[in-house]
Structure 1
Amino acid sequence: MTANVLVIGRKGQVATSLAEAARAAGLTLTTLGRPEIDLADASSIHTAIAGSTADVVVNAAAYTAVDKAESERELAFAINADGVKHLAEACAQTGRPLIHISTDYVFDGTAPGPYAEDDPVAPLGVYGASKLAGENFVRAACPAHVILRTAWVVSPFGHNFVKTMLRLAETRDELGVVDDQRGSPTYAPHLADAILGIVEQIADGRDSGKWGTYNAAGTGEATWCDVAREVFEQSARRGGPTAKVRPITTAEYPTPAQRPANSRLDCSRMAATFGISLPDWRQGIAECVQRLHAKDQAGTGDAAVAGGEA
């Protein structure tokens, strides 16, 4: 069957990528954000889900300000935990499968290799703890669920590392970039394609063997320093901004929230269950830089070098 999809979230990287991918594929997909639905408002959640005609719900909305969460714990948990609880309950009550996007930040980063889905969780900060609480609410409230943990998301949309690097390179010849955190960079449009592939497989709700938790990230691994160098290599090929990248340690770039030193995700379970793997992270960076460069050349404002957190 061709699913009718409701995406919670409208302006974020994943929600925007899902809307774009659905248009390209000719799928029926609706994005819903504030004020129609607010994960901090339980009544709006139940009203929106009850009034929807969607076959599958994808939750791409979250409180994602990792550092700010350290001082806004109550708000982070209201959105990422309590709001997700109400969303999962509403999906269960109306018989809809829920695909919920989670994060590598549920892990503490001390594992020697890539994390598998069943490895012990131990979030280092408020953001990771709030997302883990949301996962647990989904498992408890909505049996027909797929939780997708992703990492290091970048795209031509919103605020992200690629945009920040290009913006900073407009005015700086050299940038210090952390080289002792290693992860699985993920291009949001590639993740969106994977999500829609999963939607098609679970839309009819008959294959309960596919419910559960999966890692969904770009293939390969890198440090932030590696990603920055790839960004500038791709930008240089197109005549865009570049800068020399100087490796630094996490200690040299202190932040309010502690980041996992290891955010690598083993995505073999998703490949085995759904037959879906995301492309290599370098391909995602190349596509991202190409699109940002094209937007910049076309003079479309927010385009190439909009701000964002590194």
Structure 2
Amino acid sequence: MKVSARKRFVELSHPIRVAFGTLLGLDVVEVSLDHTGFTGRGECCPMAIYGQSASQTLAEIAKIAPAIEAGDVDRAVLQRVLPANAARNALDCAFWDLEAKVTGRTVWDIAGLARPASIPSDVTIGILSPEETFEAASSLEAPTMIKLKLGGERDIECLRAVRAARPDTPLFVDVNAGWTLERLNQLAPILADAGVSMIEQPLPPGDDALLDGYTGAVPLCADESCHDRSDLQRLQGRFAHINIKLDKTGGLTEALALAQAGREQNFGLMVGCMLATGLAIAPAYMIGSLCDVVDLDAPLIVKRPEDAGVRHDGRCLHAFERSLWG
């Protein structure tokens, strides 16, 4: 077994503003596992908001690489020796891909899942001016669902701009931990009146206990507050939904387990991603096949067409090819 890893910058087609800053692109780390003439690949996107960087991730991979190459660490052992983070995600997904290639089975068969030809996926609108928000919403071609980023200075005006352009399109909002409890309680009734179905991560994860004072009727979704199964007990009674991202779960293995545990504990399931190429969207697509809400629109916002990897037609994300992954 040979372990290789590299960093590269994935550029966005246009800047996207969210509550914690404006993104022009992000570093991703790609991992390759070469074994008996086969190569398994995985990708992660380390984020500073989780205290991770590409250089740190490369160092973690380099540290564990000798044990993997010696055959002492496989996918099962990996879950115990690395925390749930970006480095483990890239390695875990590479192990899945390698197993599929070595055995001649698909990742769907290995996971025991049915492969849908496509899954409905949302389209994201970042924090813009109300006028720009109206223009962005108007330009969409019959989207299945819209995710509106909030946490700016003119949240309600932007919300109303979306509804003016798309009065009937299913809509939820993502605050990226940009509000206080006071602002959440103040705005929730307005969001409810606008038909918003869900508020994603309104408060910083360290303030989860404050949500015991939430008085609104719009269900909440845990994103930054939910990494793996160990978080579920703390989220009970505060969030109705969880957002599963492989860079938070530390890979597809834990993501599948989290989806099962979340469903058993009556959470609604959502799948999301960091900035990603098709190599990371492919395993997330598998989780999307189990979810109520699919937020995998990265193929629409990467600048290089070859980075998309998986086709998103503005309404649905279409199944990945085995030549890409799995």
Normalised by the size of structure 1, how large is the TM-score? 0.31
Bigger RCO (CA 8 Å, 6+ sep): 1
Bigger strand fraction: 2
